[in-house]
């Protein structure tokens, strides 16, 4: 079956966007584009937040650029998709999720500082990325996938979603999980 589609992959840092997106693009034989690399290379930001250690996205100019870049059979990966998503340049969006305990380990392994780790875990627990995507994009053209475990399972689910199967979101309740484990202060204080 030929697939002609533009797919966005987003999620909090550490959810596995890059590994997942590269593997999905290989499976679909699609081009892979890392939007964060383009945003930095083309200076599509308004400044740098020293406290957070991240660039401040120039939403208007970045949006114009991604619309220009939009082409069929491409996987677009990046956190910024959550703030730039619309159907003029994307057909479907995969939102990767990750258990906060696993996410913490991944971010430590990546060398993130403690404040950045806490900020990104809080974002994941509080569903910030899905909320941003849903405010801009048809929820029926999105899927949330818990990418805490086996990459192949996540890829299979995304592949079936892209092919048009009626696939349900992975229902995650990270706030409930950390509450049951009495870890709210650990992650959200």
Q: What is the pLDDT of residues 88-106, one digit of tens each?
A: 899 999 999 999 999 999 9
Sign of CA dihedral 25, 26, 27, 29: positive
pLDDT of residue 52: 84
pLDDT of residue 2: 66
Question: Which run of H or of E encompasses 74?
Answer: strand 74-77
Confidence of residue 4 (pLDDT cuts 50, 70, 90): confident
Within 43-113, residue ranges assigned H as helices are 59-69, 81-84, 100-109
CATH class of 6-188: alpha beta
Cα-based distances in Å from 78 to 21, 27, 107, 166 = 9, 19, 16, 25
- The mean of the pLDDT values for the chain is 95
Q: Where are the domains of the chain?
A: 6-188
**DSSP secondary structure code for residue 43 in this structure:** T
- What integer is the mean pLDDT of 124-153? 97
pLDDT of residue 3: 73
- What integer is the mean pLDDT of 35-48? 96
CA dist 80 and 98 (Å) reads 18
pLDDT digits (tens, 9 = 90+) for 145-165: 999 999 999 999 999 999 999
């Amino acid at each position: 079956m030929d697939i002609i589609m533009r797919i966005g992959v987003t999620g909090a840092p550490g959810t596995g966007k890059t590994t997942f997106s590269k593997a999905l693009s290989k499976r679909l034989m699609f081009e892979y584009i890392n939007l964060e690399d383009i945003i930095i290379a083309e200076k599509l930001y308004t400044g740098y937040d020293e406290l957070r250690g991240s660039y401040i996205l120039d939403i208007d100019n970045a949006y114009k650029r991604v619309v220009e870049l939009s082409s069929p059979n491409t996987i677009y990966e990046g956190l910024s998709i959550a703030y730039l998503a619309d159907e003029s340049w994307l057909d479907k969006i995969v939102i990767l999720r990750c258990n906060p305990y696993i996410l913490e380990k991944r971010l430590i392994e990546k060398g993130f500082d403690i404040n950045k780790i806490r900020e990104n875990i809080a974002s994941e627990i509080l569903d910030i990325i899905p909320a941003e995507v849903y405010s801009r994009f048809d929820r029926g053209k999105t899927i949330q996938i818990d990418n805490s475990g086996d990459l192949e399972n996540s890829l299979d689910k995304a592949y079936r979603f892209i092919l048009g199967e009626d696939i349900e979101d992975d229902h995650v309740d990270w706030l409930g999980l950390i509450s049951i484990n009495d870890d709210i202060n650990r992650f959200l204080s």
